[in-house]
Amino acid sequence: MLMTLGTFVFSIDAAAYDQLQRSVAWRHARTDRVGAIAASQYVGPGEDTIELSGVIAPPLTGRHASLDTLREMGDTGRPWALVSGTGRVIGPYAITTLRETRTHFLANGQPRKVEFTLSLGRVPDEAMQVDQRMAGEPTQTTANVA
């Protein structure tokens, strides 16, 4: 297991990624000043995005259904817990984009090779708790109260 996004497991059998890119930004507000360089003030964290790129080549690696599952997860608009293969919780992320390139087609139109890129955007931790409450799942806060 390389990583999980919610209940989806990235693995050789499902959809293995061969590249992970993460981009983290921090916001700084700028105020123009007369005769001087603009003042800057840190106002908080900015965008935190992850891109996972990989190849599915059934029957060697992965399944076409894996990308269907990711598409269905994206359709929900929900945040999903992203957890590394070592068990490190990276945080709640929403699926923002899924790109596919299909090549090497069989006579029936089935691709033998599918390259994919999955883009994820970090959402506030509170968004995950609100989503769990709406689904009737216990959250850390409500679990402690009960």
Round to whole Å and give the CA distance between 29 and 31: 7
Round to whole Å and give the CA distance between 65 and 56: 10
- Is 35 within the bounds of a domain? no
> In this structure, are residues 26 and 45 in contact, taking their beta carbons and an 8 Å threshold?
yes
Which one-letter DSSP state was computed for residue 61? Answer: B
**pLDDT, position 137:** 58
Which residues, other chains included, contact 27 with Cβ-Cβ below 8 Å and sequence gap of 6+? 42, 43, 44, 45, 46
Round to whole Å and give the CA distance between 72 and 28: 36
**pLDDT, position 146:** 39
**pLDDT, position 114:** 94
Place of tokens 């992965």: 62
- Is 40 within the bounds of a domain? no
- Is 13 within the bounds of a domain? yes
Place of tokens 């497991």: 9
Print pLDDT tens along the chain (146 aa). Answer: 999 999 999 998 888 999 999 999 999 999 999 999 999 999 999 999 999 999 998 877 778 899 999 999 999 999 999 999 999 999 999 999 999 999 999 999 889 999 999 999 999 988 776 666 656 655 544 444 43
Whole-model pTM: value is 0.80
Q: Please give the structure tokens belonging to residue 13.
A: 């059998």
**pLDDT, position 132:** 61
- Is 132 within the bounds of a domain? yes
- Is 123 within the bounds of a domain? yes
- Is 111 within the bounds of a domain? yes
Which residues, other chains included, contact 23 with Cβ-Cβ below 8 Å and sequence gap of 6+? 47, 48, 49, 50
